[in-house]
């Protein structure tokens, strides 16, 4: 099983979107890219930790490719807005792809380049090496489903 880590604004909705895909075994929400390996939602919300809210996707590469996940990621959020998605504003809501190996980085660069052509140079999605990923608190896992909102 492979993993992909994607920041597409508030992590609640993208989490449930990714889990619908055939070949996705499970998803979890967390924080990535920050200054230290441990953080909390309250700390991330201050905007001082440099973490992004992310969805970690566990998938079967024999059923769905990393490239397909990336293209889906670019469809479920606006990759042209800097540090915001809808009403959520702050660096924790940025658009970012966190790769775990060089092959993922190369694929991500190509997919983002293609998207940037479609969006006439306006894509702000960052591509970064995974750093300091930590799983979000249990109450954030499948939050919208728990609250009956989806």
User: Helix, strand or coil for residue 126?
Assistant: strand
Fold of 2-146: 3.30.1060
What's the CA gap between 125 and 53, in Å, rounded?
A: 14
**pTM for this predicted structure:** 0.95
134 assigned to active site: no
Q: Where are the alpha helices (DSSP H) in the chain?
A: 12-18, 41-45, 66-75, 102-118, 143-146
The one-digit pLDDT tens for each residue of the chain (150 residues) are 999 999 999 999 999 999 999 999 999 999 999 999 999 999 999 999 999 999 999 999 999 999 999 999 999 999 999 999 999 999 999 999 999 999 999 999 999 999 999 999 999 999 999 999 999 999 999 998 888 876
Of the residues 10, 32, 45, 134, only one is catalytic, namely: 10
Residue ranges per domain, the chain? 2-146
What's the CA gap between 39 and 88, in Å, rounded?
A: 20
């Amino acid at each position: 099983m492979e993993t992909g880590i994607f920041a597409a604004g508030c992590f609640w909705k993208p989490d449930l979107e990714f889990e619908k895909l055939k070949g996705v075994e499970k998803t979890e929400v967390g924080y990535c890219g920050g200054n230290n390996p441990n953080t909390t939602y309250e700390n991330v919300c201050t905007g001082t930790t440099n973490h992004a809210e992310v969805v970690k996707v566990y998938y079967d590469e024999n059923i769905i490719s990393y490239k397909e996940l990336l293209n889906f990621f670019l469809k479920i959020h606006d990759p042209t807005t800097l540090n915001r998605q809808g009403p959520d504003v702050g660096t924790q809501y940025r658009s970012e792809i966190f790769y775990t190996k060089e092959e993922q980085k190369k694929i991500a660069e190509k997919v983002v380049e293609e998207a940037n052509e479609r969006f006439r140079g306006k894509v702000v999605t960052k591509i970064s090496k995974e750093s300091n990923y930590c799983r979000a608190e249990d109450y954030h896992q499948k939050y919208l489903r728990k609250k009956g909102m989806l």
